[in-house]
Amino acid sequence: MKQIKRQRNIGTDDSDDMKRKQFHSARQPEDSFDINLCTKSIRYFEDLSNEIIYEIFEYFDFHYIYETFSNLNQRFANLIINSNHPININISSISKPTFQRYYKDIIIPYRQRIKSLRITNILAVNIILLSQDNISKLTRLETLIFTNISSSYLRNLQYLISLPKLSSLTIVYDGYTKIDQSEVYHQVFQLPVLKYFNLLLGWVSMPIVLSLPFATNKYSSIEHLVIKNDIQLDTLYVILSYVPQIRRLSISFLDKPEKRQNMTFSITLNNLTYISLKLRSFDFHEFKLLAKDLFHNLQVLRLCASNEITYLDANRWQNLILSHIPNLIIFDFQYNYSTNPEKNMMPSYENLIKKFTSSFWIERQWFFSTQHSCGHSENDFLFFSVKPYKRATFLLDGITEEKLNFDSVHHIDMGNPYTINKFGNYFPNATKLTFEYSWPSSDYSMDINLPCIISLEQLTELVVEDSPIHFMQFVKLLSVAVNLHRLKFDYISIDEMNPRTIQEDAIFQLVSKTNVVRNLTLTYDGSLEIVELFFALCPRLQHLEVHYHFTDILRSLMGLILSKTNNNNHHLSSLCFRDETGETEENMKMIIKNDKLLDDYIVECIDKKVYIWW
């Protein structure tokens, strides 16, 4: 139970359903030990002790708890309202009137009790945290998660300095305005008790090396740092100079510096025992220099590399580990490489891999496997650590030769769906699927083949990038993936079918009545007929985001989405459009006002995106 709680503190999953499942699975062995004994001692939920009820409440947003239990009886009213017990707030897809009531009745009266605050709605961030009075009252706030923050708020993070217990901060910026990274880091490094910092600054950010100097006398208390942006090694060294107490470091994409000459890292990070890196354009010699600088006391190394064949030299690895990483306990290595069919390099690769089975590797219980036929070429391979596989994401691009444990995997990146039936392994805990350049042809039965590797009922998120989805093929998938609630698509094909014929299809009509899709993002393709189809298919949709060029159909699009006679938009409460012309905000305000589409609403352009909330 305690372990699950620790994971929640640093996680960014916004699904209360997932938290409920975690709680159920965590308690199930204990609860199922003797069902007759349990029913004798506790017949009703109300019979549980206050301590256990509070423990259960830890897994839910306070709004859900308040609405569900506060009027049950006086005991629960006291537990919830007349209590000093810490509470967790999670604000995601919520209508404007509901939020206003939530803000007035819950957030303001109980500010001093809030322990964890997660905000997905960018407009709600401004309401809650731009008031200095609000911030000063959040005296017990320990965890703050922004999954969608504005550039203007990023420039005012100094407000957070007044939070005396803020130990965990997660920031996700997804706008199109340039961000000064040095300004963000400078403010975050001043937070007095921060231990965990997780940062993703989207696609547009400015380099920080020239504007953020090496630390000399002022340092941060951060012990766990996660950077999800591309970052060069020299930039990383500057950042690390501010965090001498760091214990865990994770970098999504580490690039080699433009100039390695005369670049040294003179600070010894004695507490740094865990590093997770994905290398880009790093040869093994450069990695060895990095290891000399940072890996003195390392116990856990998780590494992704590619292209450089020197990373498959087991003898080099052995010498490096013995010389510079002597305390290494866990070596989690993943390597993507390609052979050249014209040069017939396969025997050389196979000989290199065999050397990872020597006594040096076996004694340390470091084992590896190979996935054949990765990508769209039979000459691609994936070499990765196993027994067990420990990563949360797996690139499924081919066939493995042995049965493996993939219990840790929650996200499958589907490189080649045509190998599903031959893969021979199962992902029991996968909840997210991503297809990149790889959505199969329309005659491929996703609803039949995917169950070979995952439980479709557990699937909550589907992302398809740089590949067109076939609409009816997706509808059939949705008929069995009944818990999908988040979708992101680039291109949609209806295969020249009449949209009315699609809506009359029996499977379409059944799925429209049962699916729980709440969040939809359309990146490049979204004609009026496509949007209309999605609204008919997903009538419980709460948030729609559109990134493609739509200026010519703006009035028709807004009329379709916001029509008061549309029976499929009753749950919708927010829209987001990319502002390509600089005039989208004013045009939308004019259309909404002139056509009387909404009554109580906010329209605001933030970082070249226009948000509508009602």
- For residue 429 the two structure tokens come to 């805990």
Residue 603 neighbours by CB under 8 Å, 6+ apart: 585, 588, 589, 592, 610, 611, 612
Q: Under a CB-based contact definition with an 8 Å cutoff, are residues 351 and 386 in contact?
A: no
pLDDT tens by residue, 392-411: 999 998 888 889 999 999 99
> Contact, 251 vs 274, CB < 8 A?
no
94 or 198, higher pLDDT:
198
Q: Where are the domains of the chain?
A: 44-141
| Mean of pLDDT over the chain | 87
Dump pLDDT digits (tens) for 242-286.
999 999 999 999 998 877 666 678 788 999 999 999 998 889 999
Would you place residue 14 in the very low, low, confident or very high pLDDT band (cuts 50, 70, 90)? very low
> 399-400 and 393-396 as β-strands: parallel, antiparallel, unpaired?
unpaired
Angle at 97 between CA 92 and CA 102, to 5 degrees: 60
DSSP calls for 417-429: GGGHHHH---BTT
560-to-261, 498, 586 alpha-carbon distances in Å: 60, 18, 19
Read off the pLDDT of residues 480-512 as tens digits, 9 standing for 90 and up.
999 999 999 999 999 889 999 999 999 999 999
Distance, in Å, from the CA atom of 153 to the CA atom of 58, rounded to the nearest integer, reads 29
- The number of angstroms, rounded, from the C-alpha of 1 to the middle of its chain's C-alpha atoms is 23
Other CB atoms within 10 Å distance of the CB of residue 549: 12
- Please name which of 147, 34, 37 lies closest in space to residue 93, comparing C-alpha atoms: 147
What average pLDDT does this structure show over 135-152? Answer: 94
186 touches 214 (CB < 8 A) = no
pLDDT band at 117 (very low <50, low <70, confident <90, very high): very high
Report residue 219: phi and psi, to 5°: -130, 160
pLDDT at 130 over 90: no
Residue 551, both tokens = 């200026």
Lowest mean pLDDT among 25-29, 170-174, 356-360: 25-29
Task: Quickly state the pLDDT bin for 23 (edges 50, 70, 90).
Answer: very low
DSSP β-ladder status, 486-493 and 168-172: unpaired
Q: In angstroms, what CA-CA distances link 364 with 119, 159, 413?
A: 43, 48, 29
Q: How confident is the model at residue 6 (pLDDT cuts 50, 70, 90)?
A: very low
Distances from the Cα of 58 to the Cαs of 1, 19, 76, 168, in angstroms? 11, 9, 15, 17
pLDDT band at 387 (very low <50, low <70, confident <90, very high): confident
DSSP 421-462: HHH---BTT--EEEEES-PPPTTS-HHHHGGGTB-GGG--EE
Count Cβ neighbours within 10 Å for each residue of 309-325 and write b for 16 or more, e otherwise: bebbbbeebeebbeebb
Burial 267-293 (b: 16+ CB within 10 A, else e): bebeebbbbbbbbbebebebbbbbbeb
Q: Which residue has the higher pLDDT, 336 or 503?
A: 503
Among the listed residues 563, 588, 562, the one whose alpha carbon sits nearest the alpha carbon of residue 577:
588
**Do the beta carbons of residue 490 and residue 524 sit within 8 Å?**
yes
Indicate the SS3 state at residue 302.
strand
User: 515 pLDDT exceeds 90?
Assistant: yes
Q: What is the pLDDT of residue 598?
A: 95
pLDDT at 11 over 60: no
Secondary structure string (H, E, C) spanning 92-129: CCCCHHHHHHHHHHHHCCCHHHEEEEEECCHHHHHHHH
From residue 182, give the alpha-carbon distance in Å to each of 206, 212, 244, 403. Answer: 8, 6, 18, 47
Say how far apart CA 88 and CA 82 lie, in whole Å: 16
Within 13 Å and on the Cβ side, how many CA atoms surround 195?
Answer: 9
